[in-house]
Amino acid sequence: MSTTPALELQGLTKRYGNFTALHSMDLAIRPGEIFALLGPNGAGKTTMIGSVCGLVKKTSGTIRVFGKDLDQDSVGPRYEIGLVPQEINFDPFFSVAESLRIQLGYYGRPRDEARIDEVLTALNLQAKKDAMTRALSGGMKRRLLIAKALVHKPRLVFLDEPTAGVDVELRRDLWTYVRRLASEGTTIVLTTHYLEEAEELADRVGIINEGKLLMVEDKATLLRRFGERRVVVTFDHPQAALSEVGRRFAASLSADGRTLTYVEREGCAPSGELLRALYAEGQPIADVETRRSRMEDVLIEILRGRPQAA
Amino acid sequence: MNVLGMQTLFAKEVRRFMRVPGQTVLSPLISTTLYFIVFGYSISGRVQTVDGTPYLHFIVPGLVFLGIANNAFLNSSSSLFITKIQGTVVDLLVSPLGPGELMAGFIGGAMVRGLVVGGLTWAVAALFTGFSLEHAWVAAYFLLLSSYVFSVLGMLAAVWAEKFEQINFFPTFVMLPLTFLGGVFYSVRTLPSPWKEVSLFNPMVYMVEGLRYGMLGQSSFSPAVGGAILAGVAVVATVVTWMVLKSGYKMKA
């Protein structure tokens, strides 16, 4: 696979008057990866995507799509790009199939009914192929947006909140389809408020806040580094005080002495070791409950400015 | 150049107005035809001829011009403006369509609508006056170039406008007075001073007179003057529109 990044940003800056929406962003997205860009509302996610997709005029910096500088050629690289915008839009004069045929044409591709059927089937819209777009429900309009972004087989796809307002079943279907696209070599840049979505799909995660890219990390590394496993051990009988094992593992005992809580972070002893030590110590364990951090917890931790654990 | 993209946008623009023919073709055709009947028959009783041409014949080129100019302008302005309002402009901005392709698509579609309405107006008028085409190439030049110029101006208005009120500004406050005072229903030469001199600053006068020369073989001014003005406006409007689109003015954040 090519080593040229699918998308490369160098010093990308966007200012609106005195407000800086993007602060000199540097980022390289590998071909074929699913990259999730996470951050609160107004963090700069859509501005970044808009700058690449030609919707926002950048103030400064360089954008390269598959090695091509958009300052040198602002049109050519767009053949490779597909965008699912955040806001639903549709042209009420046309049917679903006509909208997709128009989209294909915009990208210089001839009419391709097989491709249209493939995308509509994948997005569960086949039955609405000849329906006028104005007659679609909100969720269906969202699916049509996705179909329009994908129909011309772009190599770099931006999904800006693609599943907002979409039912759970379709969301799952879309995830499957996104994974399939990525397995076929399509690079996906995803922004979402459903952090479960990022956790489910992303290879790497970028976290952005107030226009600054705070961190880019492999999802697994991020979860390991910033995530934690919380182990709650319930005893048969209340404990009078924290045992020697409890102190060694820096665990905490509840006020009633019935539960011991251990927070396992990167660099700490694994929770299995704690359990073995407690058994060896002869503690009367009644129940063990564990909970691993999810992307949501990690994001909150990072946005609150928790220093890197490792 | 994205030729297929340009053709797609053009075909989409034509299909868009053909989806609502009552609004885009029939309605303006009826309005223009009513002008012809009301003005033509009411005034022709008192004004028998203008420069030797029967009054009913005299007003036909102006009404054809009116149909072309209004509808070409309205098509490109409303189509692009609505695209901005409903958000589908994103499809155009993200796709590999440069300023040239966008202009060709929108202007081409608007020219077709202008020429369809103008052509139908001419056909309806011909039922009353008979068909007259004295200088076919001159007429073709003015028909095509005036539809082009007003399509481009419509596109510029759509880029600039942010509200519906603004998009109606040009047709109501600029185009309507200029066309009605542009010698559609009378010969500028017959106006008293200072209106005659004032009218000479109205570019529509020369466009109407140029088309009148092509269709009827008579004109108050040399068609070369109108042709040159039209070509000049076409060049300036094209360059300005291309630069505006290239810069992303009011199209990109």
Q: What are the extents of the domains in chain A?
A: 7-89+139-224, 228-292
Which residues in B lie closer than 8 A to residue A79 (C-beta atoms)? 96
Q: Write down the pLDDT at residue A249.
A: 85
Class of the CATH domain delimited by A7-89+139-224: alpha beta
How many whole angstroms separate alpha carbon A208 and alpha carbon A302?
A: 10
Cβ distance of A53 and B15 shorter than 8 Å: no
Which residues in B lie closer than 8 A to residue A104 (C-beta atoms)? 8
More confident residue, B123 or A298: B123
User: For residues B138-157, b (16+ Cβ closer than 10 Å) or e, as one string?
Assistant: bbebbbebbbbbbbbbbbbb
% of chain B beyond a pLDDT of 70? 99
Q: Write down the pLDDT at residue A10.
A: 94
Contact A187, A156 (CB under 8 A): yes
How many whole angstroms separate alpha carbon A117 and alpha carbon B21?
A: 30
User: How far does the CA of residue B189 sit from the closest CA of chain A (Å)?
Assistant: 46
Q: Write down the pLDDT at residue A250.
A: 86
* Tokens coding B199: 């009218």
A71 to chain B, any CB pair closer than 8 A? The answer is no
How many whole angstroms separate alpha carbon A53 and alpha carbon A81?
A: 7
- How many inter-chain contacts (A to B, CB under 8 Å) are there? 87
How many whole angstroms separate alpha carbon B20 and alpha carbon B15?
A: 9
How many whole angstroms separate alpha carbon B226 and alpha carbon B228?
A: 5
pLDDT digits over B107-140, tens only?
999 999 999 999 999 998 898 888 888 999 999 9
Out of 3.30.70.100, 3.40.50.300, 3.30.9.100, 2.60.120.10, the CATH code matching A228-292 is 3.30.70.100
What ipTM was assigned to the predicted interfaces of this complex? 0.88
CB B41: neighbour CB atoms within 10 A?
A: 12
- Which single residue is written with the structure tokens 């072309």? B68
Q: Per-residue confidence at A171, pLDDT binned at 50, 70, 90? A: confident
Query: In the predicted model, what is the mean pLDDT of chain A?
Result: 87
Which residues in B lie closer than 8 A to residue A66 (C-beta atoms)? none
Q: Per-residue confidence at A1, pLDDT binned at 50, 70, 90? A: low
Cβ distance of B88 and A54 shorter than 8 Å: no
Average pLDDT over residues A290-298: 72
Which residues in B lie closer than 8 A to residue A55 (C-beta atoms)? 90, 93-94, 252-253
Contact B80, B155 (CB under 8 A): yes
Query: In the predicted model, what is the mean pLDDT of chain B?
Result: 90
pLDDT digits over A29-47, tens only?
999 999 999 888 888 899 9
Q: Report whether pLDDT(A101) > 50.
A: yes
Residues whose CB is less than 8 angstroms from the CB of residue A145 and which lie 6 or more positions away in sequence, other chains included: A84, A85, A88, A89, A90, A162
Burial class (CB in 10 A: 0-12, 13-18, 19+), A20: middle
Contact A158, A6 (CB under 8 A): no
How many whole angstroms separate alpha carbon A304 and alpha carbon A260?
A: 27
Cβ distance of B253 and A56 shorter than 8 Å: yes
- Which single residue is written with the structure tokens 């220093």? A307
